[in-house]
């Protein structure tokens, strides 16, 4: 029986930090389900379909190089419900700093109460990606800055095109 993990986020856009966590999570699970959160009250920069396509493109490169399987899905409810729906036994969460740790510990406790047996595994961000936040990447891109240190070249092109289209 394959070990299935669930890694959720908005991925708006997918960053090198997300890629780092995906790659490292694949050393822990056989299948990683990447759950793209779709919240009807929020207006993301990229549509769910665009985010899925970007994640799938990045995941193909990772799985070709390191093996494993990545599936990308959307969800609009509780992470624990989506994780269970996709057969996950573990939720993967990336931590950049102490603020993330405090928040994620609270979430892990709540998730454990709602879904006993569904474990949460924290992966500390690698030092070279610890500072990356998708919200900051969007701000830099919106102001015409160079985002290539923070995202793949393909995602950087999509960001540039998106903000060029908005001006």
Decide yes or no: CATH 3.40.50.620 for domain 4-128: yes
Q: Are 70 and 32 in contact (CB under 8 A)?
A: yes
Rounded (10°) CA dihedral 73, 74, 76, 78: 30
Q: Are 28 and 121 in contact (CB under 8 A)?
A: yes
* CA 88 – CA 5 distance, rounded (Å): 5
DSSP, collapsed to helix, strand or coil, labels residue 54 as helix
DSSP H or E stretch at residue 36: strand 31-37
The domain segmentation of the chain, as residue ranges, is 4-128
Q: Are 152 and 15 in contact (CB under 8 A)?
A: no
Q: What is the pTM assigned to this prediction?
A: 0.95
pLDDT per residue, tens digit, the chain (167 aa), is 899 999 999 999 999 999 999 999 999 999 999 999 998 888 899 999 999 999 999 999 999 988 899 999 999 999 999 999 999 999 999 999 999 999 999 999 999 999 999 999 999 999 999 999 999 999 999 999 999 999 999 999 999 999 987 66
Q: Are 141 and 147 in contact (CB under 8 A)?
A: yes
* Token pair of 31 as six digits: 């299948």
């Amino acid at each position: 029986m394959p070990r299935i993990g669930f890694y959720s986020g908005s991925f708006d856009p997918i960053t090198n930090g997300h890629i780092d966590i995906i790659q490292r999570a694949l050393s822990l699970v056989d299948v990683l389900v990447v759950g793209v959160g779709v919240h009807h009250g929020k207006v993301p920069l990229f549509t769910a379909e665009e985010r899925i396509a970007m994640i799938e493109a990045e995941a193909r490169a990772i799985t070709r190089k390191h093996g494993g399987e990545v599936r990308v899905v959307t969800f609009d409810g509780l992470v624990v419900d989506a994780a269970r729906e996709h057969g996950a036994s573990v939720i993967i969460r990336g931590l950049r700093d102490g603020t993330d740790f405090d928040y994620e510990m609270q979430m892990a406790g709540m998730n454990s109460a709602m879904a006993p047996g569904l474990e949460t595994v924290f992966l500390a961000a690698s030092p070279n990606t610890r500072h990356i936040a998708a919200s900051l990447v969007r701000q830099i891109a919106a102001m015409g800055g160079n985002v290539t240190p923070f995202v793949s070249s393909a995602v950087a092109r999509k960001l540039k095109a998106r903000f060029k289209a908005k001006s």
